Chains A and B, each alone.
Chain A
């Protein structure tokens, strides 16, 4: 009897000890609820050795409604972080971190990542240009909006414009800030008005990616680019099937009209810049003179009577 009791006691202690060891070791977070227990605290940040800071707080509602939130858990993309505390981040900078993250994206979006790598942006990234976009620059993984929605389409020029509308960024690469010229051009006007007055309908006017491509974007001078002089008319014709042979020259290439770029447009601007104030001044003068003569006659008549 005694030996049997001892065996059960020893076994019990061993099992309990094993359980204790198992639970005292690194805790394991598997479901998003566990992660969001911490990661909803506002102001929660990760600091890189480069002193860059990135927010690691997640908007739970937006994540759940996003394309990713409905199919994936945190651990799908952050497998190492199932351990708590999380292992140290090896990336030296935010861009470094995002570049490593592209490998995570590739596990599902392999084709897009491969196409992007061949693009001018992918090339710039490999060459180490800090401003080159990565996947998450345009697609927030924690709020992944569906790219085929009207909202994504109507807001896309603004998204590109965060860099391509900033002359400080663009001048480093010998590029012009083109966003503003798009917005003031015919297609941009339509897109802006759709965004403002019909946000639920996708703009029918061309947006950046319709002409330049998205993940596969290339430099305009690259013969493979859709906007290369040899190909641009064909690109126009995807929306304007009847476009005449000179149609592409209607596009002022994101240039602000001047004596050299689209001079005809510039001369027309100049013509009206002179004609409008000139005409208004002349007609205004005649009106004032007319009223003056009338007033003088009134006063004279009143004086006589």
Chain B
């Protein structure tokens, strides 16, 4: 009888590399983008002067935008390849179980039930965050490219999409930053049982004890497939 593993694999090396690329590009884009949104403030002026003026700031911003788009395309290709190879089972997709999960989680958080609902591989919070990143990246890439190439875009599309893109780009950026600060930082860093950080995205593994608590359905599926947990 083999010794039971203490942790289960959760993210591949490629997925972790994508996450690292996302961290770098997201932060650099926020750092070079926020002062462009709030250009009339003193701190924006200092950051832009530090980077050598607005043209250079835009160049840095666009460079990291290309990195982010590249990462997004890599992710898309990797997901399609995993599907084709049968390694991907739509774990990120929303289902009726998520609605039950949300209701159950609220009941648990409010003290109406003892146990956390039995979440699958990804719980509704993680799915919500994942799809928010997908949506956000699409919005930012499309609106950013419209502003980068307005001359070409307006050969086909009405011009009003250029100022509309500018508003959407700033709004979506603010939404993404606030979501990361509140949501991602809480769930991956400041949650009292996780603080200072969830190491899963770095090691690629999740300890069994946490899997059992946070993703019980997934834990049971994995354990059932191997051997019953020792009592």
B183 and A272 contacting across the interface, CB-CB below 8 Å: no
Given contacts A186-B147, A194-B54, A196-B49, 17 further A-B contacts (CB under 8 A): A192-B39, A197-B53, A198-B53, A247-B151, A249-B158, A249-B160, A250-B150, A252-B163, A272-B174, A275-B175, A279-B175, A283-B179, A284-B182, A286-B109, A289-B110, A290-B186, A293-B111
B172 and A272 contacting across the interface, CB-CB below 8 Å: yes
Chain A residue numbers with a CB within 8 Å of B108 are: 293
The answer for the CA separation of A108 and B163 in the assembled complex, in Å, is 44
Chain A residue numbers with a CB within 8 Å of B175 are: 272, 275-276, 279
A244 and B53 contacting across the interface, CB-CB below 8 Å: no
B178 and A279 contacting across the interface, CB-CB below 8 Å: yes
In residues 43-71 of chain B, which contact A (Cβ within 8 Å)?
45, 48-49, 53-55
Chain B residue numbers with a CB within 8 Å of A284 are: 182
The answer for the CA separation of A201 and B192 in the assembled complex, in Å, is 52
* A93 in the interface (beta carbon within 8 A): no
A265 and B160 contacting across the interface, CB-CB below 8 Å: yes
Query: Do A240 and B167 contact each other (CB < 8 Å), given the known contacts A249-B159, A264-B160?
Result: no
In the assembled complex, the CB of A245 is this many whole angstroms from the nearest CB of chain B, namely 7
The answer for the CA separation of A280 and B171 in the assembled complex, in Å, is 13
Interface size on B, residues (CB 8 A): 46
In the assembled complex, the CB of B83 is this many whole angstroms from the nearest CB of chain A, namely 30
B174 and A276 contacting across the interface, CB-CB below 8 Å: yes
A-side interface residues toward B, CB under 8 Å?
A: 183, 185-186, 189-190, 192-194, 196-198, 201, 204, 240-252, 257, 262, 264-265, 268-269, 271-272, 275-276, 279-280, 283-284, 286-287, 289-294, 296
* B155 in the interface (beta carbon within 8 A): yes
* B168 in the interface (beta carbon within 8 A): yes
A250 and B53 contacting across the interface, CB-CB below 8 Å: no
The answer for the CA separation of A248 and B162 in the assembled complex, in Å, is 10
In the assembled complex, the CB of A202 is this many whole angstroms from the nearest CB of chain B, namely 12
A246 and B163 contacting across the interface, CB-CB below 8 Å: no
A243 and B151 contacting across the interface, CB-CB below 8 Å: yes
B164 and A265 contacting across the interface, CB-CB below 8 Å: yes
In the assembled complex, the CB of B172 is this many whole angstroms from the nearest CB of chain A, namely 7
Choice from B36, B152, B153 contacting A189 with Cβ under 8 Å: B36
Choice from B36, B154, B179, B191 contacting A244 with Cβ under 8 Å: B154
B45 and A197 contacting across the interface, CB-CB below 8 Å: yes
The answer for the CA separation of A189 and B125 in the assembled complex, in Å, is 38
Query: Do A250 and B162 contact each other (CB < 8 Å), given the known contacts A272-B171, A280-B178?
Result: yes
In residues 177-193 of chain B, which contact A (Cβ within 8 Å)?
178-179, 182-183, 186, 191-193
B-side interface residues toward A, CB under 8 Å?
A: 36, 39-40, 45, 48-49, 53-55, 106, 108-111, 125, 147, 150-164, 166-168, 171-172, 174-175, 178-179, 182-183, 186, 191-193
B192 and A287 contacting across the interface, CB-CB below 8 Å: no
In the assembled complex, the CB of B11 is this many whole angstroms from the nearest CB of chain A, namely 23
Chain A residue numbers with a CB within 8 Å of B36 are: 189
Chain B residue numbers with a CB within 8 Å of A269 are: 167, 171
Chain A residue numbers with a CB within 8 Å of B163 are: 185, 250, 252, 257, 262, 265
A-B contact count (CB 8 A): 131
The answer for the CA separation of A186 and B167 in the assembled complex, in Å, is 11
Choice from B40, B53, B109 contacting A292 with Cβ under 8 Å: B109
A244 and B153 contacting across the interface, CB-CB below 8 Å: yes
The answer for the CA separation of A196 and B38 in the assembled complex, in Å, is 13
A189 and B182 contacting across the interface, CB-CB below 8 Å: no
Chain A residue with the shortest CB-CB distance to B182: A283
Query: Do A193 and B152 contact each other (CB < 8 Å), given the known contacts A250-B160, A262-B160, A290-B109?
Result: no
Query: Do A246 and B167 contact each other (CB < 8 Å), given the known contacts A197-B45, A276-B174?
Result: no
List 27 contacting pairs A-B, 8 Å CB cutoff, sorted by A: A183-B40, A189-B36, A194-B54, A196-B45, A196-B49, A197-B53, A198-B53, A198-B54, A204-B55, A244-B152, A244-B155, A246-B155, A246-B157, A246-B158, A250-B159, A250-B160, A252-B163, A257-B163, A262-B160, A265-B164, A272-B167, A272-B175, A283-B182, A289-B109, A290-B186, A293-B109, A296-B111
The answer for the CA separation of A284 and B106 in the assembled complex, in Å, is 14
A197 and B49 contacting across the interface, CB-CB below 8 Å: yes
The answer for the CA separation of A272 and B111 in the assembled complex, in Å, is 33
Chain A residue numbers with a CB within 8 Å of B49 are: 196-197
